[in-house]
Each structure stands twice: as C-alpha cells, then as structure tokens.
Amino acid sequence: MKVIIKHTNDDVAKAACKLLMEKHISSTSKNFVLSLATGSSAVEMYQKLIKQNTSGNFDFSDVYTFNLDEYVGLSAEHHQSFRYFMNMKLFNHVNIPEANINFLNGMATDISSECDRYEERIAELGGIDVQILGIGSNGHIGFNEPETPFESRTHQITLTQQTKNDNQRFFADDESVPDKALTMGIQSIMDSKSIILIATGKKKAKAVADMIQGEVTTKCPASILQTHNDVHIICDQEAAAALTTSAD
C-alpha cells in the first residue's frame, strides 16, 4: 500500500486526478475500464477530471465505467440515486459515450441475474483497470459492510444503521436512506488491476488507521486492501490523524 497524505482536500483531489491520468496514459488494456465511487470523497477529483477533459488532457471517448453500487428501489432518474449523482458530478460534463457507462439497476426485479450481468460485463471488457474507492466510517468499501466475506462478488446488502446515518445528509429530512443496495463485492474490487482510495475528514480517521495498520479482518472490510499489490491511499491530514506518518 502506498499512503499519500496531503494538507487539503484540494491537494488530495489533485493527487488522485494526476495518478488516474498517469494510469490512463500508461494503460495497455484494449479498453480502459474505470470503476467509480459516489459520495463526497471523489467529488473534487471528478471536478478536476472535468477540467482536464475540457482542456483536452483526458479523453473519455475510450473509457468504460462501472460504479460500485446503487440503492435498491431507486431508478436512474431518482435524484438520490447514485446514477443521478454520477450524471450530475461527472458524466454530463465529459465526452464519455453513454453506451460506455455501466451501472447496477436498483429497480431490477431479478437481483441475482442483475448481479451476474454486472460481473459478466466487467469480465467481457477485460476487468477493471482502475478502481476509485472511498471508505465508510465503519471501514466499508463499496457497500460491503463489516462482516461481508472477502470472496464476495456483486450482491445485495442491507445497509447498517451507521451507513444510513452517514448518508442521510444526501437525502431530504422527510426522505430516508433505502435499507438495501446492490454493490460490487470485495473480490470484485480486489480483482481490479489498480486501486485508488480517497479519504478525507476526521470522521474517517479510525477507519483509515484500521485499514492501513490494523489486522486484515472482515470487521474492517477495507483492511483487505493490504493484500493487493497496487493500492494508493490518498488522504488529508484529518483522515490520517490516527496514523503515525506525516504529510508530504
């Protein structure tokens, strides 16, 4: 694991964007396959990617995307769906062909086929080149909550109360966070060639320390990343506060 600690959110986003662009340029894959996270952590990096796309430095025309997860029961048009979030934060502002965007369907009636379809599509495109991750305050990656088996593939999960509380900020007061979501599994994430995890803010400090310095255990799903051979953790000082290393 390479741990990069930056002073500000902006520095974190810059470092993540730069690394992703380097991976894109040096990729030897036929299709460049990028898997993305929703939530706050990656938003500033998406803003930087949009700028790079607008200025002609990052071409999305050959990029295929997947996203880690989607709420069950929310359609792509629903304003709280992760698909809607990605349209607003990235897809609507870059030259990615619509057909290259892959997403889990939160309205699928046959959950098991939907999960299989997603895994098959990833495999058809040659696997994920770069996986962008955030981390939950409970150590989840994707929506793989504590105790999810490390060998899991795309599946339906029930969100913990902690995750629902953490994500309530994206919903109106009279709306509640759905109980269930579809998520790529931990093994689906670990199969990625390269992983960039972004963590900012003091709420992430314990999870970040457990991930990097704790034992590898399903109690902290992100701890499995210690066993991957190409992982960059890019975090700000607040998220790194429980570690012993210092900022660059």
Residues near ligand F6R (CB under 6 A): 37-41, 68-69, 134-136, 140-143
In the complex with ligand F6R, the residue whose CB is nearer, 125 or 186, is 186
Helix ranges, the chain (H): 9-26, 43-54, 82-89, 111-124, 161-167, 186-190, 205-213
Smallest gap, in angstroms, from Cβ of residue 106 to ligand F6R? 13
- Is 145 a residue of the active site? yes
Q: Please give the backbone phi and psi of residue 126, each rounded to the nearest 5 degrees, phi first.
A: 95, 15
Among 53, 138, 144, 167, the active-site one is: 138
Q: Indicate the helix (H) or strand (E) that contains 131.
A: strand 130-133
Nearer to ligand F6R, 28 or 196 (CB): 196
Residue 232's DSSP bridge partners are 2, 196
Dihedral angle computed from the Cα positions of residues 166, 247, 46 and 97, in that order, rounded to the nearest 10 degrees:
-120
Does the active-site annotation cover 230? Answer: no
Has 95 been annotated as catalytic? no
Q: Which of 100, 114, 129, 140 is catalytic?
A: 140
Q: Residue 30 CB, nearest distance to ligand F6R (Å)?
A: 26
Smaller CB separation from ligand F6R, 140 or 153: 140
Number of helices and strands in the chain (H, E) = 7, 9
Q: Does residue 69 have an active-site annotation?
A: yes
Taking the least distance from each CB to ligand F6R, the nearer of 5 and 68 is 68
At closest approach, how far in Å is the CB of 174 from ligand F6R?
Answer: 21
From 11, 53, 67, 69, active-site residue: 69
Report the nearest approach of ligand F6R to the CB of residue 131 (Å): 10
Distance CA 46, CA 43 (A): 5
Reading the block at residue 157, the tokens are 């999960």
Q: Which residue has the tokens 């305050």?
A: 137
CB nearer to ligand F6R: pick between 15 and 135:
135
- State the minimum distance, in angstroms, from the CB of residue 188 to ligand F6R: 12
**Is residue 18 packed enough to be buried (19+ CB in 10 Å), middle (13-18) or exposed (0-12)?**
middle
Buried b (16+ CB within 10 A) or exposed e, 197-210: bbbbeeebbbbbbb
Q: Which residues are catalytic?
A: 69, 138, 140, 145
